[in-house]
Amino acid sequence: MRCPKWLPFICTIFILLAMKLCIDWSSDDLLPQSELHRSKSEWKLSAMNKLSFMGTERDFLEDDRYRTLLLNLSQELRNKIPVVDAYWNRKQHEMFQRLESGANISMSCSANRDVTKEIRNFDSYPDLYKQFLLYSNCHQFPLVINQPKKCAGNQIFLLLAIKSMPQNFINRQVVRETWGKETAYGNLWVRRVFLLGMEKGDFDPNLQHLLLFEGQRFQDILQWDFHDSFFNLTLKDNLFLKWTTKYCPDAHFIFKGDDDIFANTMAIVNYLHSLTYPVAKALYMGHIVSNAVPFRERKSKYYIPESYYSGPYPAYAGGGGFIFTGHLAKWLYLVSYYIVFYPIDDVYIGLCFNALGIEPLAHAKFQTFDIAAKNRDNACSHKTLLLVHQRSPQQTLRLWKLLHDPTLSC
Ligand SMILES: *[C@@H]1O[C@H](CO)[C@@H](O)[C@H](O)[C@H]1NC(C)=O
Ligand SMILES: *[C@@H]1O[C@H](CO)[C@@H](O)[C@H](O)[C@H]1NC(C)=O
Ligand SMILES: *[C@@H]1O[C@H](CO)[C@@H](O)[C@H](O)[C@H]1NC(C)=O
Domain layout of the chain by residue ranges: 143-365
Instruction: Decide the pairing of beta strands 184-185 and 361-362.
Output: unpaired
Residue-level pLDDT at 377: 87
Q: How far apart are CA 269 and CA 260, in angstroms?
A: 20
Residue-level pLDDT at 39: 56
8 A C-beta contact, residue 218 and residue 284: no
Q: Per-residue pLDDT for 303 more than 50?
A: yes
Bridge-partner residues for 137, per DSSP?
none
Q: How far apart are CA 357 and CA 184, in angstroms?
A: 33
Tell me if 104 CB under 6 Å of ligand 2.
Answer: yes
Tell me if 46 CB under 6 Å of ligand 1.
Answer: no
Tell me if 106 CB under 6 Å of ligand 2.
Answer: no
With a pLDDT cut of 90, the percent of the chain lying above it is 74
Residue-level pLDDT at 287: 95
CATH 1.10.10 fits 143-365, yes or no: no
Q: Per-residue pLDDT for 399 more than 60?
A: yes
Bridge-partner residues for 285, per DSSP?
323, 361
Residue-level pLDDT at 88: 98
With a pLDDT cut of 70, the percent of the chain lying above it is 89
Q: How far apart are CA 404 and CA 165, in angstroms?
A: 28
* Residue 180 Cα distances to 31, 174, 223, 238, 280, angstroms: 35, 8, 18, 22, 22
Q: Per-residue pLDDT for 396 more than 90?
A: yes
8 A C-beta contact, residue 240 and residue 251: no
Per residue in 129-158, pLDDT tens?
Answer: 999 999 999 999 999 999 999 999 989 999
Cis peptide before 390 (omega within 30 of 0): yes
Q: How far apart are CA 301 and CA 296, in angstroms?
A: 10
Ligand (nearest to CA of 72): 1
DSSP-assigned letters across all residues of 258-324? ETTEEE-HHHHHHHHHHS-HHHHHT-EEEEEE-S---B--TTSTTB--TTT--SPPPPEEEEEEEEE
Which residue has its alpha carbon closest to ligand 3 atom 11?
Answer: 132
What's the distance, CA 43 to chain centroid?
A: 22
Average pLDDT over residues 332-353: 96
What's the distance, CA 389 to chain centroid?
A: 16
Cα 61 to ligand 2 centre (Å)? 10
Residue-level pLDDT at 333: 94
* Residue 46 pLDDT grade (very low, low, confident, very high; cuts 50, 70, 90): confident
Q: Count CB-CB contacts under 10 A for residue 23.
A: 10
Average pLDDT, the chain: 89
**Weakest mean pLDDT among 28-42, 45-59, 283-297, 307-321:** 28-42
Which residue has its alpha carbon closest to ligand 3 atom 9?
Answer: 131
Instruction: Decide the pairing of beta strands 316-325 and 221-227.
Output: unpaired
Cα 72 to ligand 1 centre (Å)? 6
Tell me if 43 CB under 6 Å of ligand 1.
Answer: yes
* Residue 37 pLDDT grade (very low, low, confident, very high; cuts 50, 70, 90): low
Cα 141 to ligand 2 centre (Å)? 22
Tell me if 72 CB under 6 Å of ligand 1.
Answer: yes
Cα 77 to ligand 1 centre (Å)? 14
Tell me if 234 CB under 6 Å of ligand 3.
Answer: no
Residue-level pLDDT at 50: 79
231 CA closest ligand 3 atom index: 13
Residue-level pLDDT at 357: 94
Testing ligand 1's pocket by substitution, the residue of 72, 73, 99 carrying the most ligand atoms inside 8 A of its CB is 72
Per residue in 207-251, pLDDT tens?
Answer: 999 999 999 999 999 999 999 999 999 999 999 999 999 999 999
Residue-level pLDDT at 38: 56
Per residue in 79-105, pLDDT tens?
Answer: 999 999 999 999 999 999 999 999 888
Cα 86 to ligand 1 centre (Å)? 29
Residue-level pLDDT at 29: 39
Tell me if 244 CB under 6 Å of ligand 3.
Answer: no
Residue-level pLDDT at 8: 61
Tell me if 238 CB under 6 Å of ligand 3.
Answer: no
Sequence-distant (≥ 6) Cβ neighbours of residue 343 within 8 angstroms: 129, 132, 231, 234, 304
